Amino acid sequence: MSNKCRRTKGLFNNSNSEEFITNLVKEIAATYDDEKGINHIDGNNLPNEYEVINIINHVMELIFPGYSEKKIYSKSLLVYNAGEITANLYVELYHQITRAMLYDLNEDCSQCELEEQALQSCQKVLSKLPKIREMMKADVIAAFDGDPAAKSLDEIILSYPGIKAIAIQRFAHELYHENIPFIPRMFTEYAHRLTGIDIHPGAHLGSGIFIDHGTGVVIGETARLGDNVKIYQGVTLGALSFPKDSCGKIIKGAKRHPTIENNVTIYSGATVLGNIVIGSGAIIGGNVWITDSVEPKAKITISSPELTIKTANKL
Amino acid sequence: MSNKCRRTKGLFNNSNSEEFITNLVKEIAATYDDEKGINHIDGNNLPNEYEVINIINHVMELIFPGYSEKKIYSKSLLVYNAGEITANLYVELYHQITRAMLYDLNEDCSQCELEEQALQSCQKVLSKLPKIREMMKADVIAAFDGDPAAKSLDEIILSYPGIKAIAIQRFAHELYHENIPFIPRMFTEYAHRLTGIDIHPGAHLGSGIFIDHGTGVVIGETARLGDNVKIYQGVTLGALSFPKDSCGKIIKGAKRHPTIENNVTIYSGATVLGNIVIGSGAIIGGNVWITDSVEPKAKITISSPELTIKTANKL
Amino acid sequence: MSNKCRRTKGLFNNSNSEEFITNLVKEIAATYDDEKGINHIDGNNLPNEYEVINIINHVMELIFPGYSEKKIYSKSLLVYNAGEITANLYVELYHQITRAMLYDLNEDCSQCELEEQALQSCQKVLSKLPKIREMMKADVIAAFDGDPAAKSLDEIILSYPGIKAIAIQRFAHELYHENIPFIPRMFTEYAHRLTGIDIHPGAHLGSGIFIDHGTGVVIGETARLGDNVKIYQGVTLGALSFPKDSCGKIIKGAKRHPTIENNVTIYSGATVLGNIVIGSGAIIGGNVWITDSVEPKAKITISSPELTIKTANKL
């Protein structure tokens, strides 16, 4: 008998293991029992992370055909490839939307009505795919024009995290507009995990957006970006304070993030907070902290770099 | 014969491939031979990353039942679901702890004693799971109360990276207290990879911790957080300098990170360094750099935002 | 029939699903048709992400034997283990290099010449593995000496993201020098995804580099680091501006990132921009923003922390 077997056997023969596990399971189960809190039992209707990631991969394959999957594409067979992915995506997305909608199910709405609504939302969102493809072309070209290290459009699609985060957010944004619970945020959090770029599905992105490096970028729910906006790593487009109701409770959904007009560049580490407007063509320097609106074409930088320099002689 | 086959065949028929590989393997093997350094050969006792990630997934499934796995939960069958996961987790964790402890095996300690110690540590850590579940409930509620974009508790569990990072760290912290090598840090580094949030397993976290967005957050080994602490992306709770012994060697383990009291909020990009105290209810503004203790209820912000603004007319 | 089956069936029986999918596929296919843009059809020669990640895992297993894979290593059998991985790596890398080179295939170059060139590049890069192992030893020791939280060299290899990012970049750097398209950047972007550390494959790294925590670190294409350089989370070694040609087009590849000499330490959140030199032994404080060269052994910090402090009494 191998050493490993002996020990595993011993684990249950010569110890209190069975008793320990039995008691622990009872204790854990008891914490599941009290209230809803953080369980999800008897519900069986939450979207499943594994399935949602599958859907994201299918969406990405339709947007960037031939890049991620192992399948060989040829123009003549293209319609079959795209067709198979689209048909699968249709069924998968419909099921996850139905699960998500069941969660919020209103007593007055029958299961049939809900399924009809889920189907309509599913079709509405998928019908945006050709438009999203056009948007992504502009994003890829913006990255190529904006980065001296970029060697080709294909390299950008294969290896630029900003492109991945933006593509996933553009699709999630359509789901968000259909008021589907859970799934839009699961989409963008998956993008966040892959890229370090955290764009809320509610944010509106114009055309030709370039996010370089991207780690640490945060773009809030009610932010609006115009066309040809460039953003570097560590930039936050956040809320300054949260509007509260008369009871002091935070009002969900109120406009509280910046509007960034066309052709704005925001350098690394800048923080832009509140429901303000950064005028078209403005340049926001690195590490700048802004809570007031900025005129079009203005250039904001940190004044004198307030540094203390001790040279070797004075050390 | 396909084009690909021909090429692969040619790779070994018409070239120096065999000779090249043989020589390269010899050279690589020679670098394994000299000293211990960065090999791990003949040891066979290091914890395995794949197994450790499995353990993390099982822990998460017990803490948030029904969220991640595909299994269907129902209240009546719950005890079986939780029981199966717990039993597997028990065996897996025991084996990895044993492997980790073998690494530090003292000559005076027999294999049997070590296994007994591993079993006790394993049980001690697992017995904390019900308490960790209670803590996580408070964390999820803190996130809901603190974020206007949050739509439901379930959405937070499904898609908030902070919750994932905190849950994994809370379990890792129990392993850390048992002085188990490797595994605690492998836990939190996996959370870091998923979320960009790097909390050392040694850090003490109070109840109701909310980390929003989270990318770039670093919380050091000897940091202590009280209850209801809110932390935003890019915050560092770090060391200012490293205490050294009389030979100039860094002293491992000395208290060198901040203590954050109850109800403190630290906004994005703030850096809090050294063994200082941030008093209860204090608010640390974004991008602030602090190396001295702060009074309770104090509010620290960057003074005047020292910016240079060039408007379009003056450009 | 289960509820789920009925619904899936209904999806195609009682609705316009077929018609919808057919039309959508036509629309999507039409967007594939117009130009090259963001498709990759009929090419079949782009490197495949899945295969490239496989290659990275094999490289890591050769550099750190016994750490990641489940295989049991023993000194006497080592040559077989290393040999098998090396042989597989050789074939896999050759194929992906060939695919990448086909992309840039010049009309004057026959397929045979290209394959010969791919083979030479593949061998040249692999022959650097023993040297890379030596470099990584120095990196691991630098991490141990630099971090009071580090318990052992093995812990660093198992759980320090900086080590992973640097090892992958060192190999990618060799591919970069062979002018292989796509693959070097796919390597470092995979490291970026795992660690939040974004080091361009073009960057030159000296010996004994330590990147702690690492999330948000960006090191540009033409940066040069000497020996024993320490870098903390959120540090950018970036470009200040992009040299342009007479037509205003960005010149690809020009030196535009900093040179960091030996024994320099750069603390968290510092931004170092442009083709400048940070002299040997200099210390760059946290959050510092630098666009001018720095003398050897100089110590740069943010002057007075310009903070506004409101204590509880004055609130």
Can you tell me the ipTM of this complex? 0.89
Percent pLDDT > 90 in chain B is: 61
Distances (CA, A) of B210 to A174, B142, B171: 28, 6, 17
Q: Please list, in sequence order, all residues whose beta carbon lies within 8 angstroms of the beta carbon of residue C15, skipping any fewer than 6 positions away.
A: A119
- Residues A22 and B101: their CA atoms lie apart, in Å, by 26
Residue B113 counted as domain residue: yes
Residue A129 counted as domain residue: yes
If asked whether residues A60 and A183 sit together in one domain, one would say yes
Task: Flag if C127 and B287 touch (Cβ within 8 Å).
Answer: no
Residue C153 counted as domain residue: yes
- Residues A315 and C298: their CA atoms lie apart, in Å, by 8
Distance, in angstroms, between C1 CA and closest chain A CA? 17
If asked whether residues C256 and C155 sit together in one domain, one would say no
Closest-CA residue of chain A to C203: A149
Residue C114 counted as domain residue: yes
Closest-CA residue of chain A to C251: A148
Task: Flag if B65 and A196 touch (Cβ within 8 Å).
Answer: no
Distances (CA, A) of A208 to A230, B67, C130: 9, 36, 44
Between strands B283-284 and B265-266, the pairing is parallel
Task: Flag if A39 and B64 touch (Cβ within 8 Å).
Answer: yes
If asked whether residues A168 and A229 sit together in one domain, one would say no
Give the per-residue SS3 of C106-131: CCCCCHHHHHHHHHHHHHHHHCCHHH
Q: Please list, in sequence order, all residues whose beta carbon lies within 8 angstroms of the beta carbon of residue C190, skipping any fewer than 6 positions away.
A: C52, C53, C56, C168
pLDDT reading at B5 higher than 60: no
Q: How big is the CA angle at C313 (ends B268 and C306), to the nearest 5 degrees? A: 40
pLDDT in tens, C116-174: 999 999 999 999 999 999 999 999 999 999 998 898 998 999 999 999 999 999 999 99
If asked whether residues C223 and C247 sit together in one domain, one would say yes
List of chain B residues whose C-beta atoms are within 8 Å of the C-beta of residue A299: 309-310, 315
Residue C202 counted as domain residue: no
The secondary structure of A59-121 as a DSSP string is HHHHHSTTTSSSPPP-GGGHHHHHHHHHHHHHHHHHHHHHHHHHHT--TTS-HHHHHHHHHHH
Percent pLDDT > 70 in chain C is: 86
- Residues A223 and C55: their CA atoms lie apart, in Å, by 40
Q: Edge-to-edge strand order for the sheet containing C198-199?
A: C198-199, C218-219, C236-238, C271-273, C289-290
What's the length of chain A? Answer: 315
Helices H, strands E: what count in chain A?
9, 15
pLDDT in tens, C75-126: 667 778 889 999 999 999 999 999 899 877 766 677 778 889 999 999 999 9
Q: What is the pLDDT of residue C5?
A: 37
CATH number of the structural domain spanning residue C222: 2.160.10.10
Among residues A223, A218, A238, which one has the least CA distance to residue B285?
A: A238
What integer is the mean pLDDT of C55-64? 94
Q: In sequence order, what are the beta bridge partners of A237?
A: A219, A272
Distances (CA, A) of A46 to A30, B129, C290: 22, 24, 49
Best A139, A164, A311 member to test C by mutation, with max C CBs in 10 Å, is A311
What is the total count of domains within chain C?
3
Task: Flag if A299 and B309 touch (Cβ within 8 Å).
Answer: yes
- Residue C181 — pLDDT band, cuts 50, 70, 90? very high
Tokens of B9: 């065949």
Percent pLDDT > 70 in chain B is: 86
What spatial distance separates the first Cα and last Cα of chain B, rounded to whole Å? 67
Burial of A237 (0-12, 13-18, 19+ CB in 10 A): buried
Burial of A127 (0-12, 13-18, 19+ CB in 10 A): middle
Q: Please list, in sequence order, all residues whose beta carbon lies within 8 angstroms of the beta carbon of residue C6, skipping any fewer than 6 positions away.
A: none
Distance, in angstroms, between C86 CA and closest chain B CA? 7
If asked whether residues C79 and C178 sit together in one domain, one would say yes
Task: Flag if B145 and A250 touch (Cβ within 8 Å).
Answer: yes
- Residue C1 — pLDDT band, cuts 50, 70, 90? very low
Q: What is the pLDDT of residue A183?
A: 97
CATH number of the structural domain spanning residue C187: 1.10.3130.10
Among residues B80, B150, B74, C13, which one has the least CA distance to residue A45?
A: B74
If asked whether residues C245 and C267 sit together in one domain, one would say yes
Residue A91 counted as domain residue: yes
- Is residue B229 within 8 Å of residue B264, measured between CB atoms? yes
- Residue C4 — pLDDT band, cuts 50, 70, 90? very low
pLDDT in tens, B90-147: 999 999 999 899 877 766 677 778 889 999 999 999 999 999 999 999 999 999 999 9
Task: Flag if B41 and C79 touch (Cβ within 8 Å).
Answer: no
In the three-class reduction of DSSP (H, G, I as helix; E, B as strand; rest coil), residue B110 is classed as coil
Return the higher-pLDDT residue of A52 and C68.
Answer: A52
Tokens of C228: 């024993």
Residue C15: CB atoms within 10 Å: 16
- Residues A125 and C28: their CA atoms lie apart, in Å, by 14
What integer is the mean pLDDT of C310-315? 62
pLDDT in tens, B173-202: 999 999 999 999 999 999 999 999 999 999
If asked whether residues A67 and A158 sit together in one domain, one would say yes
Q: Determine if residue B267 is left, alpha or beta; phi over 0 gives left, psi from -120 to 50 gives alpha, anything else beta.
A: beta
Task: Flag if A302 and B302 touch (Cβ within 8 Å).
Answer: no
- Residues A55 and A70: their CA atoms lie apart, in Å, by 17
If asked whether residues C189 and C44 sit together in one domain, one would say yes
Residue type, A127: S
What spatial distance separates the first Cα and last Cα of chain C, rounded to whole Å? 67
List of chain C residues whose C-beta atoms are within 8 Å of the C-beta of residue B40: 64-67, 73, 154, 157
- Residues C294 and A244: their CA atoms lie apart, in Å, by 49
Average pLDDT, chain B: 87
pLDDT in tens, C243-253: 777 777 777 77
Residue B222 counted as domain residue: yes
pLDDT in tens, B229-266: 999 999 999 998 777 777 777 777 789 999 999 999 99
Q: Edge-to-edge strand order for the sheet containing A224-225?
A: A204-205, A224-225, A259-260, A277-278
Parts of chain A with a pLDDT under 50:
1-7, 315
If asked whether residues B180 and B44 sit together in one domain, one would say yes
Best C39, C271, C273 member to test A by mutation, with max A CBs in 10 Å, is C39
Q: What is the pLDDT of residue C6?
A: 43
Q: What is the pLDDT of residue C276?
A: 97
- Is residue C303 within 8 Å of residue A308, measured between CB atoms? yes
- Residues B186 and B48: their CA atoms lie apart, in Å, by 10
Please, which chains are in contact with B (at least 3 CB pairs closer than 8 A)?
A, C
Phi, psi of B277 (to 5 degrees): -120, 125
Residue A224: CB atoms within 10 Å: 17
Longest CA pairwise span in chain B (Å)? 81
If asked whether residues B44 and B191 sit together in one domain, one would say yes
Closest-CA residue of chain A to B234: A216
- Is residue A182 within 8 Å of residue A40, measured between CB atoms? no
pLDDT reading at C183 higher than 60: yes
Burial of B260 (0-12, 13-18, 19+ CB in 10 A): buried
pLDDT in tens, C196-224: 999 999 999 999 999 999 999 999 999 99
- Residue C304 — pLDDT band, cuts 50, 70, 90? low
Could you give the dihedral angle defined by the CA atoms of residues B91, B96, B98 and B104, in that order, rounded to the nearest 10 degrees? -170
Q: What is the pLDDT of residue B107?
A: 64
Task: Flag if C151 and B252 touch (Cβ within 8 Å).
Answer: yes
Q: Determine if residue A129 is left, alpha or beta; phi over 0 gives left, psi from -120 to 50 gives alpha, anything else beta.
A: alpha
- Is residue A181 within 8 Å of residue A100, measured between CB atoms? yes
Give the closest of A82, A98, A136 to C28, CB-based.
A82
Burial of A33 (0-12, 13-18, 19+ CB in 10 A): exposed
Could you give the dihedral angle defined by the CA atoms of residues B258, B262, B264 and B266, in that order, rounded to the nearest 10 degrees? 50
Q: What is the pLDDT of residue B72?
A: 57
- The position carrying tokens 């791919």 is C118
Q: How big is the CA angle at C94 (ends C88 and C96), to the nearest 5 degrees? A: 105
If asked whether residues A70 and A20 sit together in one domain, one would say no
Q: What is the pLDDT of residue C43?
A: 52
- Residues A193 and C196: their CA atoms lie apart, in Å, by 10
If asked whether residues A72 and A174 sit together in one domain, one would say yes
- Is residue C286 within 8 Å of residue B289, measured between CB atoms? yes
Residue C128 counted as domain residue: yes
Phi, psi of B34 (to 5 degrees): -60, -50
In the three-class reduction of DSSP (H, G, I as helix; E, B as strand; rest coil), residue B20 is classed as helix
pLDDT in tens, A200-244: 999 999 999 999 999 999 999 999 999 999 999 999 999 987 777
List the domain range (segments joined by +) for residue A7. Answer: 3-29
Among A196, A227, A244, the domain boundary falls at A196
Among residues C118, C80, C86, C112, which one has the least CA distance to residue C100?
A: C118
Task: Flag if C196 and A194 touch (Cβ within 8 Å).
Answer: no
Angle, helices B111-126 vs B78-103, to 10°: value is 140
